[in-house]
Chain A
Amino acid sequence: MVKPVTKAQKNFDPAVIWAILEEIKDPEIPVLSIVDLGIARDVKDTENGQLEIVISPTYSGCPAMYMLEEQIKETLVNHGYPNPLVTTQLSPAWTTDWMTAQGKEKLEAYGIAPPEKTSHNKAILFGGQKKISCPRCKSDNSEQISEFGSTACKALYRCLDCREPFDYFKCI
């Protein structure tokens, strides 16, 4: 059966859409795109020819989500995809494991220690404090200042060698 071809469908090429999504940066961590962060989960063309982007929030209350939705729509419209749809998917719950290797490198270069790989260990209430490498001098000799940092996704650490405080992207 031949599906009716609409404008959006004719243009639909997932690779192109993913490349466009790379342009959209996290407002708090402008070096990371929503693709690096693993927030953008899927790209689809719906039955009625609308482009659909599926996103997963990092934290339930993340105030950046609404802004990101708006940015996704705006960017796609500017690239000639009229009336795109952005849908939120909670399950499976977002995890830092979805962050791309490239994203982790960019994060570290920006001065934020990237999340470690998740382990079962964190299910334990006091899993023991992990040693986080300082993104500046790379020393592992660091300590946690605060479990909660400037945004929901970060904790605050201090390097005991170079003495610089730094953000650690929490592993969830």
Chain B
Amino acid sequence: MTELNKVNALVQYAAQIGDNGLIIGHRMSEWCFRAPSIEMEMALMNCALDLIGQARELYTYAGEAGGEGKKEDDFAYLRDEQDFRNLLLAEVPNGDWGDTIVRLFFMSAYNKLFFTELAKSTDAELAAIGAKSLKEVTYHLRFSSEWLIRLGDGTEESHRRAQKSIDDLWAYTGELFTMTDAENLLLEDGISVDVTALKADWDELVSQILDQATLSVPTNNWAQSGSKSDGRHTEYFGYIITDMQYLQRRYPGCEW
């Protein structure tokens, strides 16, 4: 393995943030033509578009920072499973509407805090992407919060199922606040965000909304991890990239 330096750490960092957006954005786009109503579908597609757009900016920057002439498509379509360092939360299957909303809510609460900090990065490009993305994820947070309150404080069944979604996905939230070696290295120069410092605010934000939704915060603190640090994914991940990369793998260099 190549030794970590400030250049490859930056490439890894930008790509890893991009991976989050691409993978959760891809997951959400799987709802296309399947959402319960047209408004819900448009909302998810809008959010997915924002997230994939952010991934494109981050991959483009990762390519520029690496200086090897890599383009956004190289990151999205030509890397293998272990090279993707998205949060596991981003890749879990859509499940039902409640699962999708809870996943988006957990991620958006994190993204809002994360991009607020990234906007202050000493790296001008990351700061610009952070400030731009922040405007978008704020909408995602509002949308998913409103839905979570509606589901939790809705019927007996919607409450029960929303609580189950929270309990099921909770184990994936611990990974949000872990640091990679690249992140630690970049933190010395104020380039990366210290995500461990976001945990208290995230807990506060999440419990506030869960409270309004009459849902409870799980007490189980065991956290599943492995993707962000080592590229060890859930069994679902291979299916995502098979689907997403098929065209470029079958017809290398194919363009519109």
The interface of chain A, by Cβ under 8 A from chain B, is 57, 59-63, 90-94, 122-123, 125-126, 145-150, 152, 156, 170, 172
Most chain A CB within a 10 A radius of its CB, from B46, B53, B124, B129: B46
Chain A residues lying within 8 Å of B48, measured Cβ to Cβ, are 61
Q: Are B46 and A60 in contact (CB under 8 A)?
A: no
Measured between alpha carbons, how far is A76 from B246 in the docked complex, in Å?
A: 37
From A118, which residue of chain B is reached at the shortest CB distance? B135
20 inter-chain pairs at a CB distance below 8 angstroms, sorted by A residue, are A59-B49, A60-B132, A62-B49, A63-B49, A90-B57, A90-B128, A90-B131, A92-B131, A125-B142, A126-B142, A126-B146, A145-B39, A147-B139, A148-B43, A148-B45, A148-B46, A149-B42, A152-B46, A152-B49, A170-B139
Q: Are A91 and B136 in contact (CB under 8 A)?
A: no
Instruction: Give B102-149 interface residues, CB cut-off 8 Å to A.
Output: 124-125, 127-129, 131-133, 135-136, 138-139, 141-143, 145-146
**A60-B132, A93-B128, A156-B39 given; A125·B145 CB < 8 A:** yes
Q: Are B128 and A60 in contact (CB under 8 A)?
A: no
Chain B residues lying within 8 Å of A146, measured Cβ to Cβ, are 39, 42-43
Measured between alpha carbons, how far is A60 from B141 in the docked complex, in Å?
A: 17
The interface of chain B, by Cβ under 8 A from chain A, is 39, 42-43, 45-54, 56-57, 124-125, 127-129, 131-133, 135-136, 138-139, 141-143, 145-146
Q: Are A59 and B50 in contact (CB under 8 A)?
A: yes
> Which of the residues A60, A123, A149 comes within 8 Å of B56, measured between beta carbons?
A60
Chain A residues lying within 8 Å of B49, measured Cβ to Cβ, are 59, 61-63, 152
From B39, which residue of chain A is reached at the shortest CB distance? A146
CB distance from A154 to the nearest CB of B (A): 9
Chain B residues lying within 8 Å of A156, measured Cβ to Cβ, are 39
From B38, which residue of chain A is reached at the shortest CB distance? A146
**A126-B142, A147-B142 given; A60·B39 CB < 8 A:** no
Other A-B pairs beyond A59-B136, A61-B49, A61-B52, 16, CB < 8 Å: A59-B49, A60-B133, A61-B53, A62-B53, A91-B128, A91-B132, A92-B131, A125-B142, A146-B42, A146-B43, A147-B139, A147-B142, A148-B45, A150-B42, A152-B49, A156-B39
CB distance from A22 to the nearest CB of B (A): 25
Q: Are A91 and B135 in contact (CB under 8 A)?
A: no
Q: Are B53 and A60 in contact (CB under 8 A)?
A: yes
Chain B residues lying within 8 Å of A60, measured Cβ to Cβ, are 50, 53-54, 56-57, 132-133, 136
Chain A residues lying within 8 Å of B45, measured Cβ to Cβ, are 148
CB distance from B95 to the nearest CB of A (A): 21
What are the 5 closest A-B residue pairs judged by CB atoms, nearest first?
Answer: A61-B53, A60-B53, A91-B128, A61-B49, A146-B39
Measured between alpha carbons, how far is A150 from B54 in the docked complex, in Å?
A: 20
Q: Are A172 and B135 in contact (CB under 8 A)?
A: yes
**A147-B43, A156-B39 given; A91·B131 CB < 8 A:** yes
From A89, which residue of chain B is reached at the shortest CB distance? B128
Q: Are B53 and A148 in contact (CB under 8 A)?
A: no
Chain B residues lying within 8 Å of A122, measured Cβ to Cβ, are 138
Q: Are B142 and A91 in contact (CB under 8 A)?
A: no
Measured between alpha carbons, how far is A61 from B141 in the docked complex, in Å?
A: 17
> Which of the residues A123, A147, A150 comes within 8 Å of B143, measured between beta carbons?
A147
Chain A residues lying within 8 Å of B141, measured Cβ to Cβ, are 125
Q: Are A90 and B54 in contact (CB under 8 A)?
A: no
CB distance from A150 to the nearest CB of B (A): 7
From A145, which residue of chain B is reached at the shortest CB distance? B39
From B49, which residue of chain A is reached at the shortest CB distance? A61
Measured between alpha carbons, how far is A125 from B138 in the docked complex, in Å?
A: 8
Measured between alpha carbons, how far is A90 from B142 in the docked complex, in Å?
A: 23
